[in-house]
Amino acid sequence: MFRLRFTTLVEAPLTVAFDVARTLGRPWPAPLTEVESERPYCDVHVAGPGAGRRWVTHARRFTATPEGTRVDERIDGGTGLPGPLGAVADRLLGRRLERAMRTHLDAYAAAARSRAHGVVQVVGAALVDGDRVLVAQRSGGPYDGCWEFPGGKVDPGESDLAALVRECTEELGVVVEPGDFLGEVPLDGVVAGGPRGASTMRVWSGRVVSGEPVAHEHAALRWVGADELDGIDWIAADRPLLPAVRDLLSRS
Ligand SMILES: Nc1nc2c([nH]c(=O)n2[C@H]2C[C@H](O)[C@@H](COP(=O)(O)OP(=O)(O)OP(=O)(O)O)O2)c(=O)[nH]1
């Protein structure tokens, strides 16, 4: 058998990295059957062993990082031929696939980066003061009254962190210093348009380094402790981030 491992860093949100990977498929002709898929986090495809006993398993995991999406891929396979001849055939097949994959992944990273330019990206700040985090209540619109992390859409050509600092100044009248990357969650497309889950929100921890937060655009602001997080009426998309926020508060 052969085992191939690839890691690709894609400058694109999770949803774009996942969708482009699926659209491009694989650099070999044999059709695979999907046996697992959780958009935008992972998928597994398999083929064989058929009449020729050749088999292959292709597993991908998409992980949010501060720089973009890391795609970890495992391809395991074999020709199914026995003995030393089979070992040589496996090695040759593995090498061929490895070469094809490297070219394919370069093209994939470029395609995902280019597609990401057309997708609205949102950033959020979990601003911490001691063992409390700042939450903000939306005023108007589809999420009227729901609570969220301060933040908003990244402007074209703007970096995530520049957008985070700008949004906190506009919304709260403070200067913030971004900290750790906490995670990325798919949004429902209400703001970005397009299909549900096209956009994501990427959230960093942060702290206020100048000024006192004032609700310039929100209905209200609250500093809350870890034990209050679950009881808040969050925008639904934010809930998967709460374990990371709880962990953050336990460390501060
Ligand atoms: N800021 C923020 N937005 C969130 C969170 N969770 C969540 O689903 N969203 C959604 C709500 C909105 O649809 C979108 C952010 O858009 P926004 O309207 O707040 O962005 P913005 O401040 O740039 O808006 P605008 O300039 O167009 O008025 O992301 C969150 O925790 N914080």
ipTM surpasses cut 0.85 = yes
Ligand 1 within 6 A of CB of 235:
yes
Q: How many domains does the structure of the chain reveal?
A: 2
Among 116, 141, 164, residue at a domain's last position: 116
Atom 3 in ligand 1: which residue has the minimum CA distance?
Answer: 152
Among 90, 116, 142, residue at a domain's last position: 116
pLDDT at 251: 87
pLDDT at 53: 84
Let me know whether 82 and 145 are in one domain.
no
pLDDT at 126: 98
Ligand 1 within 6 A of CB of 19:
no
The token pair at 191 is 């703001």
Let me know whether 20 and 108 are in one domain.
yes
pLDDT at 193: 63
Ligand 1 within 6 A of CB of 48:
no
CB 80 within 8 A of CB 86: yes
Let me know whether 174 and 109 are in one domain.
no
DSSP-derived secondary structure for 14-31: HHHHHHHHHHH--SS-S-
**CATH code of the domain in which 44 resides:** 3.30.530.20
Let me know whether 101 and 185 are in one domain.
no
pLDDT at 103: 98
Let me know whether 135 and 238 are in one domain.
yes
**How far is residue 57 from each of residues 25, 35, 71, measured CA to CA in Å?**
14, 10, 16
Ligand 1 within 6 A of CB of 21:
no
Q: Which residues contact 64 (CB under 8 A, 6 or more apart)?
A: 14, 181, 183, 184, 200, 202
- Choosing from 147, 235, 238 the residue with most ligand 1 atoms within 8 A of its CB, the one to mutate for a pocket test is 235
Question: Beta strand 2-10 with 220-225: parallel, antiparallel or unpaired?
Answer: unpaired
Let me know whether 126 and 185 are in one domain.
yes
- Choosing from 138, 146, 153 the residue with most ligand 1 atoms within 8 A of its CB, the one to mutate for a pocket test is 153
Scored b (16 or more CB within 10 A) or e, 222-246 reads eebebeebeebebbebbeebeebbb
Three-state SS string over 208-224 comes to EEECCCCCCCCCEEEEE
Let me know whether 97 and 143 are in one domain.
no
Tokens 């809930």 sit on residue: 239
Per-residue pLDDT 10s for the chain (252 aa) are: 999 999 999 999 999 999 999 999 999 888 899 999 999 999 999 997 766 688 999 999 999 999 999 999 999 999 989 999 999 999 999 999 999 999 999 999 999 999 999 899 999 999 999 999 999 999 998 899 999 999 999 999 999 999 999 999 999 999 999 999 999 999 987 766 666 778 899 999 999 999 999 999 999 999 999 999 999 999 999 999 999 999 999 987
Atom 12 in ligand 1: which residue has the minimum CA distance?
Answer: 191
165: left (phi over 0), alpha (psi -120 to 50) or beta: alpha
Ligand 1 within 6 A of CB of 68:
no
Let me know whether 56 and 163 are in one domain.
no
Tokens 């703001």 sit on residue: 191
Ligand 1 within 6 A of CB of 100:
no
Ligand 1 within 6 A of CB of 166:
no
Per the DSSP assignment, residues forming a β-bridge with 2 are 77
Domain span at residue 90?
Answer: 2-116
Per the DSSP assignment, residues forming a β-bridge with 124 are 151, 203
- Choosing from 122, 224, 245 the residue with most ligand 1 atoms within 8 A of its CB, the one to mutate for a pocket test is 122
Let me know whether 128 and 41 are in one domain.
no
Let me know whether 80 and 126 are in one domain.
no
Ligand 1 within 6 A of CB of 126:
no
Let me know whether 174 and 215 are in one domain.
yes
Let me know whether 126 and 236 are in one domain.
yes
pLDDT at 84: 92
